[in-house]
């Protein structure tokens, strides 16, 4: 029986170590690409599985479901969705600078539509993938490791013959870190790689003479060229990208702004958002120039057309699109990759260096492997040639031997005992044989047709080629210059066959300046119904329908078209909304939820007061909380630029129950949940700053809270209903602040 051993350890240490192990597993085995081949494990395994299944570029497509299932079963024991998503992205030419998989079927589009289910789509390797990432796997150029259940072998890294990490870029989120590498032009990456091979001390600035900057599949214009050197030296920064815009002349003298290329970050659902944002500019009266918007994009490319009114300022409108929409966007660069088994933020030079060192390592292993094969071939060829020169004696040995072993021993060691010879001279000559083991086997397996004269000549020519190959391979392995030239020649071939033209323009562009046309300031009426839908109407409409407006809406007050609306809530927050953000509509128009144009959340907050900034600037505001804290604040303090600020400070467990603008009211009445009423002059409440918590207005019982606040004039008769009993507030005795008040019996 095994004796139990209890190991005592600190719980926090176990948690810390477990979390670190988990984090490193996600970082290295899931989320981040390897600097050598630019692939994440799921991408590498998918490509290798397709290679093993024989789904080559010159063979028929195979179902994606077959590829995903085989990859999951052999190499990647995770969800099939993650494998299929990786496969889909590797087919999309609008995401990858150089797609690695040739997809057949619906693999999604640039506007964000997802790919069809894996059972409907088919795929095969691209030619460039097969020739540049998988071609030398049979030459022992990379290490293999056991798969998850040790029933298969998989490559640790694919033999990438160019810096794929730069060509296709990468995006991934790990634990506590993320990578974001833009795609680049294959031709430029190859030229930069060649430059590094020729001069390993080359600087980033010199490398960028060959690699100008990112080359996004969607084209566009990089506007901060001068900042790219810093980004590529540090591996971190922001690349500003604009869409490509042209102006066409339309009918009736109208002009059309046509967007033919979009910023790379806009691909997907952001195209729809861009169209919505442009429409919102017109709805919110930011511009009055738009006549029509249409998305005419197709398989041929992006084409978004915005038709403008006559005499519209096209340049100013385009600048407005850059400033107000995602037509100008930023691509956050963080060139994080796995280098020597650990995550590292790498510069452009470091990424190229990692791949070049990897290429030299692969070349050394490749040509060592080829040299060994050629040396073995030479050995056999030399044996066959020697054997052909004495073929009659060899045949005599074979005919005189009792078995294969006897003949082989004679060929390798010259042992002639037991072999019948025609003459003693033949026996003496046979005893001088000294073929190697491999030569002897080749002689024994040689077919008679090899003795034909033409076959002998072919053998001699083949031997000469073998000697030339040996000389070449030994030279490549002995001299780094020779190996460098071989790698450069391979890169030139790949550039010639697979490189395309640059799509993204690199330039220094001036910041877009948009002059917003000043709209004429007019007087409007703000309306918000009990459901939270807000709008503005003109004063004429209000005057004609005054009774209807007041009866159907919770808040009604005048405001300026250029002003702001202020929303006070029970959480002590002040939310501001530009009047121009609200729709100017007709009386029966529904309006827009106030949540949509402000940071106010109807699910978490309750509106106590809505008024205009102009109104606040003229008066003071009184705040009363459930725990009976109160203060008066000058309304000018709420003239703020932020959309949300704290209007008052609250104690723990407290909330605002009343916000009121002080105009002509003189007295205040507090009513609590337990039925206590306290009436005292408003002048007893001190004026404080909005950041203050205030003073106590009323002494409360342990469980009691202020529920209602009434503001009255000293001369008016004010009657309220409390628990079905009328209470005259005017007849309440005027008390002092911070007293208990009077209990009303019901």
Which of the 8 DSSP states describes residue 311? T
State the Cα–Cα distance between residues 683 and 349, nearest whole angstrom: 73
* φ, ψ of residue 126 in degrees (nearest 5): -80, 155
Q: Closest by alpha carbon to 694, among 632, 637, 645?
A: 632
Q: Closest by alpha carbon to 62, among 73, 52, 74?
A: 52
Question: Residue 350: beta bridge partners?
Answer: none
Q: Which two tokens stand for residue 570?
A: 């029970």
Burial of 677 (0-12, 13-18, 19+ CB in 10 A): buried
State the Cα–Cα distance between residues 670 and 659, nearest whole angstrom: 13
* Widest pairwise Cα distance in the chain: 151
H-helix or E-strand containing 314?
Answer: helix 314-324
- Sign for the CA dihedral angle at 409, 415, 417, 420 comes to positive
Kindly provide the b/e burial profile for residues 245-281, where b requires at least 16 CB atoms within 10 angstroms of the residue's own CB.
beeeeeeeebbbbbbbbbbbbbbbebbeebbeebeeb
* φ, ψ of residue 517 in degrees (nearest 5): -65, 130
Q: Which candidate in 19, 22, 120, 722 is catalytic? A: 120
Q: Closest by alpha carbon to 615, among 509, 733, 525, 698?
A: 525
* φ, ψ of residue 323 in degrees (nearest 5): -80, -35
Q: Which two tokens stand for residue 594?
A: 């106030």
State the Cα–Cα distance between residues 546 and 536, nearest whole angstrom: 14
61 included as an active-site residue: no
Q: Which residue has the tokens 């699910």?
A: 603
Contact assessment for residue 348 and residue 233, using Cβ atoms and an 8 Å cutoff: yes
Please give the positions annotated as active site. Answer: 120
């Amino acid at each position: 029986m095994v004796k139990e051993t209890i190991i005592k350890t600190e719980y926090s240490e176990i948690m810390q170590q477990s979390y670190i192990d988990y984090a490193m597993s996600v970082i290295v085995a899931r989320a981040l690409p390897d600097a050598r081949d630019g692939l994440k494990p799921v991408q590498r395994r998918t490509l290798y599985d397709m290679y093993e299944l024989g789904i080559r570029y010159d063979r028929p497509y195979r179902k994606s479901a077959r590829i995903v299932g085989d990859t999951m079963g052999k190499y990647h024991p995770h969800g099939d969705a993650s494998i299929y998503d990786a496969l889909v992205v590797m087919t999309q030419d609008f995401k990858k600078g150089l797609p690695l998989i040739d997809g057949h079927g619906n693999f999604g589009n640039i506007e964000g539509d997802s790919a069809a289910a894996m059972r409907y789509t088919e795929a095969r390797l691209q030619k460039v993938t097969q020739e540049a990432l998988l071609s030398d796997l049979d030459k022992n150029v990379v290490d293999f490791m056991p798969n998850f259940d040790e029933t298969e072998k998989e490559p640790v890294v694919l033999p990438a013959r160019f810096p794929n990490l730069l060509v296709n870029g990468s995006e991934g989120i790990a634990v506590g870190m993320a990578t974001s590498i833009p795609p680049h032009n294959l031709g430029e990456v190859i030229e930069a790689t060649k430059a590094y091979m020729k001069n390993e001390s080359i600087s980033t600035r010199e490398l960028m003479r060959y690699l100008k900057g990112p080359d996004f599949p969607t084209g566009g214009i990089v506007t901060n060229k001068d900042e790219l050197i810093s980004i590529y030296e540090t591996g971190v920064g922001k690349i500003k990208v604009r869409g490509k815009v042209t102006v066409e002349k339309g009918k009736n003298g109208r002009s059309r702004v046509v967007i033919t290329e979009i910023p790379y970050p806009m691909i997907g659902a952001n195209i729809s958002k861009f169209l919505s944002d442009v429409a919102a500019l017109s709805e919110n009266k930011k511009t009055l120039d738009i006549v029509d918007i249409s998305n005419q994009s197709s398989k041929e490319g992006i084409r978004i057309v915005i038709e403008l009114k006559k005499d519209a300022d096209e340049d100013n409108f385009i600048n407005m699109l850059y400033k107000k929409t995602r037509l100008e966007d930023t691509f956050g660069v963080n060139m994080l990759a796995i280098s020597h088994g650990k995550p590292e933020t790498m510069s452009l030079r470091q990424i190229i260096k990692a791949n070049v060192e990897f290429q030299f390592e692969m070349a050394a292993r490749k040509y060592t492997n080829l040299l060994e094969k050629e040396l073995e071939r030479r050995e056999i060829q030399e044996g066959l040639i020697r054997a052909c020169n004495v073929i009659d004696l060899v045949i005599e040995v074979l005919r005189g031997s009792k078995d294969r072993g006897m003949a082989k021993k004679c060929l390798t060691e010259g042992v002639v005992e037991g072999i019948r010879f025609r003459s003693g001279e033949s026996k003496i000559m046979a005893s001088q044989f000294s073929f190697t083991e491999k030569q002897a086997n080749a002689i024994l397996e040689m077919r008679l047709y090899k003795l034909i004269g033409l076959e002998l000549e072919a053998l001699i020519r083949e031997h000469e080629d073998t000697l030339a190959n040996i000389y070449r391979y030994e030279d490549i392995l002995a001299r780094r210059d020779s190996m460098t030239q071989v790698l450069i020649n391979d890169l030139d071939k790949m550039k010639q066959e697979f490189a395309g033209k640059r799509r993204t323009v690199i330039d220094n562009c001036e910041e877009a300046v948009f002059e917003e046309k000043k709209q004429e300031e007019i007087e409007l009426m703000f309306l918000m119904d009990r459901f939270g839908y807000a709008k503005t109407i003109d004063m004429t409409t209000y005057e004609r329908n005054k009774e209807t407006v007041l009866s159907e809406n919770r808040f009604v007050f005048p405001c300026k078209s250029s002003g702001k609306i202020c929303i006070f809530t029970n959480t002590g927050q002040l939310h501001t909304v530009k009047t121009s953000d609200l729709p100017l509509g007709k009386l029966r128009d529904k309006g827009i939820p106030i949540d949509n144009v402000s940071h106010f959340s109807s699910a978490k907050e309750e509106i106590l007061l809505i008024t205009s900034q102009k109104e606040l600037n003229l008066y003071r505001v009184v705040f009363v909380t459930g725990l009976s804290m109160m203060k008066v604040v000058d309304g000018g303090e709420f003239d703020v630029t932020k959309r949300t600020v704290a209007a008052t400070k609250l104690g723990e467990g407290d909330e605002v129950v009343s916000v009121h603008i002080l105009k002509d009211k003189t007295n205040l009445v507090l009513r609590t949940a337990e039925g206590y009423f306290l009436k005292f002059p408003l002048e007893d409440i001190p004026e404080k700053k909005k950041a203050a918590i205030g003073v106590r207005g009323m002494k409360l019982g342990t469980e009691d809270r202020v529920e209602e606040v009434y503001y009255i004039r000293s001369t008016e008769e004010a009657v309220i209903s409390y628990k079905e009993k009328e209470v005259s507030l005017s007849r309440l005795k005027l008390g002092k602040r911070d007293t208990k008040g009077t209990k009303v019996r019901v």
